[in-house]
Structure 1
Amino acid sequence: MKGILILLTMIFINTTLQAQTFKEWFRQKKTQKKYLIEQIAQLKIYLELTEKGYKIAKQGLTAIGDLKRGEFKLHKNYVDSLKIVNPKIANLPKIKWIGAYNGDVRNICSTCLSKNGLTEYLSGDELAYLRAVFDRLDSDCDKIMRTLEEVTIDGNLAMTDDERIRRIEALYQQTLFNLTFSKAFCNESAVLAAARMKEKGDVITGRALRGIN
């Protein structure tokens, strides 16, 4: 009888322990489920916030891109507008004078040697030097006229009106210098040739007066 009581007591205790264990297990499961639900809810909120943040960032980047494109377009429009020459500048008298004076310089360079008979009275080295100087002047005329075309024709250089005026003035001054120099250089060469021609004539005259052939 005593053994039966002990057995029943053990069964009761074991049953109680199992009941407590199952109860604890269910409570843990319930807690885990609640925690899992909370985690899912927090994850959902995080994803929603992330998506909103991404949309805001994307909109911001789009806005920045649009702004940059707008700024680039404005900048391009501004640069393009600077490539259009003001008609008042295109009709400046000095532009025609530059063309005319450069024509005079080229004419001097091409005719000086033959017109003044320099080839007969100057040495080979002197003539080579003269030709080199005239070639340099002619090349400078080409450069001036090309630059003048770039400055005064639409679509070439992006410049303000003041910048174009200053460039035209610089080309004009360079042309005047070339014209003055080419005239003086040719005249001095002609004077030298004339002096030698006179010297040669004096020698011939002196020899004739002395009866020397």
Structure 2
Amino acid sequence: MTFIKISIALMLLSCSASAQTFAEWFSQKKTQRKYLLAQIAALNTYSNYLRTGYQVAKGGLGSITAYVGDELKLHTVYYDRLKNVDPALKANPKVKEIMVRQIDINRQTSEWKTDYLVTVKAALLKDCNEQLDQLGAVLSGKTQMSDAERFEQLNVIHTAMLSNLQFARNFNTTLKKLDIQKLKEIIDINTLKGLYENH
């Protein structure tokens, strides 16, 4: 009798366990369908976000491309302007003064013909030529400079040529003094010779 009671209890327990497993299984299918539907809805939403994001990114990249293009045009205009020379610079009186100073330096150094003087003259004229080359570059627009930089460079060249001219003049004055001194010495020597010969 006890055995039968135990057997019945085990059967009921077994049926109960079997029914619970079936309920869980059925419930899981229902829950799984809910999850799948929720995932599909989430994927649709995500897809919409992606589409919107792509359009925004594409529009944004278009804006960036347009911005870069505009920026490049501005830089091109800026650098082209740096090559253009202000007519006021070419008409500046300092340009003519530089040229006149070069002519004067050539005149001042025309008599420098001994070895030492030729070396000094060559060094001086080399610097003058460099100044004139720089002037040509500033006036022709070969160099990329702003108008302010061009005027500043003109002032530098103007000052350098004035310095070269002053050197040539001072050097000539010194040479003339030396020549006069030499002449004086020669006269003095000849005078002394004459005095000694007469005695």
Give the structure 1 partner of residue 112 of structure 2. Answer: 113
Aligned residues: CA RMSD: 3.1
Give the structure 2 partner of residue 76 of structure 1. Answer: 76
Asked if the contact 2:79/2:144 (under 8 Å) is kept, the reply is no
CA deviations on 1:24-76 (whole Å, 9 max, x unpaired) are 21220120121122123213322431342243234324323421331232122
- C-alpha separation between the residues in 1 aligned to 2:12 and 2:163? 126
The alignment status of 1:159 with 2:143, answered yes or no, reads no
Asked if the contact 1:90/1:152 (under 8 Å) is kept, the reply is yes
Q: 2:172 aligns with which of 176, 183, 186?
A: 186
CA distance change for structure 1 residues 89 and 16 in 2, over 3 Å: closer, same or farther?
same
CA deviations on 1:102-139 (whole Å, 9 max, x unpaired) are 13213433x2323xxxx4xxxxxxx63x4554333212
Q: 1:210 aligns with which of 177, 196, 199?
A: 196
CA distance change for structure 1 residues 54 and 106 in 2, over 3 Å: closer, same or farther?
farther
CA deviations on 1:119-161 (whole Å, 9 max, x unpaired) are 4xxxxxxx63x4554333212211211111111113423212x
- C-alpha separation between the residues in 1 aligned to 2:111 and 2:59? 74
Q: What aligned pairs does 1:17-96 form with structure 2 within 5 A after superposition?
A: 18-96=18-96
Q: What aligned pairs does 1:172-183 form with structure 2 within 5 A after superposition?
A: 172-183=158-169
Aligned residues: 196
Structure 2: give runs of 5+ residues left out of the alignment: none
Asked if the contact 1:101/1:179 (under 8 Å) is kept, the reply is yes
Q: Percent identity?
A: 33
> Scaled by the length of structure 1, what TM-score is found?
0.74
Give the structure 2 partner of residue 123 of structure 1. Answer: none
Q: What aligned pairs does 1:132-143 form with structure 2 within 5 A after superposition?
A: 132-143=119-130
The alignment status of 1:99 with 2:99, answered yes or no, reads yes
Structure 1: give runs of 5+ residues left out of the alignment: 120-126
CA distance change for structure 1 residues 204 and 16 in 2, over 3 Å: closer, same or farther?
same
For residue 199 of structure 1, report the CA deviation from its aligned partner.
0.5
> Scaled by the length of structure 2, what TM-score is found?
0.78
